[in-house]
Chain A
Amino acid sequence: MSTSRPRPIGLLTATLALLRKDLLIEWRTRARLNAIIFFALATLLMFSFALGPDTKLLEKNAGGYFWLAILFASVLALGESFRVESENACMDGIRLAPADARAIFLSKALGNTLLLTALGVLLVPVMVALYGVRIVTSVVDLGLILLLGSLALSAPGTVYAAISSNARARDVLLPLLLFPLVIPALLSAAKATTLVLQGDPMRQFDSWAGLLGGFNLIYWGVGFLLFPRIIED
């Protein structure tokens, strides 16, 4: 039986295999994905109603609203991605396969990053139309901040979604844990986005992008180290 046992796969291969599985599930449940997209769009729309027809105010705060919409959507997306794993104890299934717990962290966090980045790309034109803003500095800067911000929400989000998916009152617990944690990320992403939309005469963009980069380094590192303790203990 044990003659032609295949060699165990490496961390990267396992991550890619799991990421491929997650993306396949996202694709096969497009309706759920669409619902999250429309939720984010509705959030953008609700901000304009909450503030009344003051276009100046909307224009000034567009960056912040944009990131709040992404943050709210990310809570839903993260919750869903771990609900899928707990449905038939699938998380046990992949742990026991065996798949490296760190590969599970990386695949979930990367999958969520991809989803949020794609969501952001869809939201930008809507924001431009709805809030009357335009991209002043460059699209590349906006893309960079979108990627960095999505990465920054995804790493701690994955850790906390793994915890809260196994606790009682998981829908309340995830935002309660996650929101205070991502304040620095939200702040720098919103600020940098505002600079892209309103011009950046003092060249502050790089420092905000740098702060986001540092945040990412810390939380991807911490998540990579601590995630195995969450799902294996």
Chain B
Amino acid sequence: MPPLSAAPALALHDVSKRYGRRWALARLTYALPAGRSLLLTGHNGSGKTTLLRLLATALNPTAGRVEVLGRDAVVERDAVRRDVALLSHASFLYEDLTAHQNLTVLARLLGLPSPADAASAELSRVGLDRRSDSPVRSFSAGMRKRLAIARLLLKAPSIALLDEPFGELDPAGIRDMEAIIAELKASGVTVILATHLIEQGLTLCEERLHLQEGRAVAA
């Protein structure tokens, strides 16, 4: 567990987010107790992705305050960024670099002592070690998903934000992903999971937040 056990893992105070003319989140207030994991459900366009991107500090809220492990996501942005990692629809992968190079770049930015070794270790953890020197351009959607989760694991976050982690995976891939998420939880990582596979989600998460048109409603 992270040392800040008194603070909730995340807290939303009256958070709204507007994209141009559309409200993606409207006055959302919620707190996730430390040590619990959260399942986000809702239809497409209900605001799940926006909420995850706000928690990842990829976006700033239009109004309201987002706190992650007791820190304000706007004011202490860099500190929050070190604690969270986002698995997003966009893979954050450079198409022209190999799987190994992609992870090495991140390892260097994270200041890991031996970036190349750290990258290799994560690649074998997700079962991509045989393709480590192939460019991402040649990867299938499922392989990209595996590499993207390797990127997340490399960061060793306190909070893992997973946006549709099961999408584009075959049944074996889904089982592997479930195992990885369970492993993350066992090592004390708070998992925030947005998925359409509610069954899988409910077995992995203790809490649930259902969003509808950017607002929290009873599921």
The answer to whether A201 has its CB under 8 Å from any CB of chain B is: no
Do B105 and A5 touch (CB < 8 A)? Answer: no
Do A17 and B88 touch (CB < 8 A)? Answer: no
Closest to A13 in B: B111
Do A90 and B92 touch (CB < 8 A)? Answer: yes
Which of A1, A13, A28 meets B135, CB within 8 Å? Answer: A28
Do B96 and A97 touch (CB < 8 A)? Answer: no
Shortest Cβ distance from residue A37 to the other chain B in the assembled complex, whole angstroms:
18
Shortest Cβ distance from residue A222 to the other chain B in the assembled complex, whole angstroms:
23
The answer to whether A142 has its CB under 8 Å from any CB of chain B is: no
A2-40, CB < 8 A from B: 2, 5-9, 13-14, 17-18, 20-21, 24-25, 28-29
Count of CB-CB pairs between chains A and B under 8 Å: 90
A81-89, A111-119, A153-161 - the one binding chain B: A81-89
Encode contact with A along B146-175: 1 for CB under 8 Å, 0 otherwise: 000001000110100000000000000000
Given known contacts A1-B189, A28-B96, A84-B94, A89 and B135 CB-to-CB distance under 8 angstroms: no
State how many residues of chain A have any CB contact under 8 Å with chain B. Answer: 32
Encode contact with B along A141-184: 1 for CB under 8 Å, 0 otherwise: 00000000000000000000000000000000000000000000
Most buried by A among B88, B91, B92, B113: B92
A contact residues around B92 at 8 Å (CB) = 88-90, 92-93, 96
Do B111 and A84 touch (CB < 8 A)? Answer: no
Q: Using a CB–CB distance below 8 Å, which chain A residues touch chain B?
A: 1-2, 5-9, 13-14, 17-18, 20-21, 24-25, 28-29, 84, 87-90, 92-99, 232-233
